[in-house]
Amino acid sequence: MTRYTFTRGLSYAPIVAASERVAWTVDGVFQDRRFDASRPIVPPSWVGTAGLRFLNEADQLVLNHCRAFSYVHLLRNFEEFVPPHLTGSATDAWHDDRARLRTLFRFGEEEMKHQQLFERAERVLEESCGHGFRRFFDDGGARVTEMTQNLLGHSPLGRFLIILALEWGTQRHYVESVHGAAVTDGLYADLLKAHWVEEAQHTKVDALEIAALAETMSAEELTAAFDDLLAIGALVDAKFAEQAKREVETLVGVRGRDLPDDESAKLVRALHASLSANMAGVGLGHPRFALVARELSAEGAAKLGIA
C-alpha cells in the first residue's frame, strides 16, 4: 500500500494475469488484411487540415494516409526506450517480488511486440496505398538510438510520467476509432484496440512504479520531476515537427504538385499542431493522468496547466 490514492486496488499479480488473458499476436491482428486506401484510414480530426482551403479532397486523403503512417512510425520509435527503461527499474531491486519483476519484463516484451505491430503497419500501409511515406526515423537506426539515449538520460520519474501520458493517449485513440467507426479503417481500428488492451495494463504498472519512486522523494524533487517531464515533452515534440515536414514532402511527391512557400509553411504548422495535440496533448490532458499529476505535486501539475 502506498499513500497515493491512484494506486488503490492495484497490485502486480492481477496485472500479470490480466496481461496473459488479453495477449494477442501480430499475425492474429493482421490476418493478412490490408488497409482500404480508397477511404480515410484515421479520423479526420487526427489530421486537422479540414480548414485549409488550398487542399482538395485528393490532397486531404493523402494527408489522412500520411497521418495513419506517422502515428505508427512515431509510436514504434518512441516505444524503443521503454524496455531498457523498465529493465533499469527491475535491476534496481533484483530478487524483489516475483510478480513485480514478471510484470516489468512482460511490459517490456509487450512493447517489443508493439514495435513489430507498428513496423508491419508501416509496411502494409505502403503496400495498400501504393506509395512510400517519408519518415523522420531513418532505417539505419541512428536517430532512434540518439533519441533513446537522450530519453534514458532523464529521471526515472520523468520517464514514467511521459510513458503514462502516452499510454492514456492510446485509450483515447482506441475510443475515437470505435465512435468514429465510419471514418476509421477496420484493420486500423483493430490495431488501435490491440495496442490499448495491453497498454491498459501498463498504465497500472506505471501507477505502482510512480508511487514507489515518489515515496522516496521530497516535495521539491517531485515538483522538479515535472520540469523534467516538460523537457522530455520538448524533445518528443521536436520529432513531431520533423515528421510533419515529412508528411508535406509525401503529399508533394504523391500528388505531383508544388505548394507555394506560404501554403507549405501553413500546412507544416497545422500538421505539427495536430500531431502534438493527438499524440501528446490527449495523454497529458487525460483525466486519469491529471489525477496522478495532481496527487504527486500540485505545483508540478500546474506547470502542465493541470489545476
Instruction: Enumerate binding residues for Fe ion (CB under 5 A).
Output: 79, 111, 114, 167, 199, 202
Question: Least distance to Fe ion from the beta carbon of 286, Å?
Answer: 14
Question: Least distance to Fe ion from the beta carbon of 299, Å?
Answer: 28
Work out the number of other CB atoms within 10 angstroms of the CB of residue 228. 18
3-state class (DSSP) for residue 127: helix
Query: 16 vs 61, which CB is nearer to Fe ion?
Result: 16
The burial class, CB within 10 Å (0-12 / 13-18 / 19+), for 14 is: middle
Query: 202 vs 204, which CB is nearer to Fe ion?
Result: 202
Report d(CA 164, CA 292) in Å as an integer: 10
Question: Least distance to Fe ion from the beta carbon of 60, Å?
Answer: 28
Question: Least distance to Fe ion from the beta carbon of 79, Å?
Answer: 5
CA distances in angstroms from 117 to 24, 111, 239, listed in the order given? 11, 10, 21
Report d(CA 207, CA 295) in Å as an integer: 11
Three cell numbers, residue 208: 505502482
Query: 76 vs 134, which CB is nearer to Fe ion?
Result: 76
Question: Least distance to Fe ion from the beta carbon of 114, Å?
Answer: 4
Question: Least distance to Fe ion from the beta carbon of 82, Å?
Answer: 6
Query: 62 vs 165, which CB is nearer to Fe ion?
Result: 165
Task: Give Cβ neighbours of residue 104 (< 8 Å, ≥ 6 apart).
Answer: 86, 87, 89, 90, 205
Q: What are phi and psi of 232, to 5 degrees?
A: -65, -40
Report d(CA 30, CA 195) in Å as an integer: 13
Query: 47 vs 104, which CB is nearer to Fe ion?
Result: 104
Question: Least distance to Fe ion from the beta carbon of 211, Å?
Answer: 18
Query: 117 vs 259, which CB is nearer to Fe ion?
Result: 117
Cell 500479470 belongs to 16
55-62 contacts, C-beta under 8 A, 24 or more apart: 55/267, 58/255, 59/251, 59/255, 62/250, 62/251, 62/254, 62/255
Question: Least distance to Fe ion from the beta carbon of 225, Å?
Answer: 19
Query: 110 vs 247, which CB is nearer to Fe ion?
Result: 110
Query: 202 vs 246, which CB is nearer to Fe ion?
Result: 202
Residue 65 φ/ψ region, left for φ over 0, alpha for ψ in the -120 to 50 degree band, beta for the rest: alpha
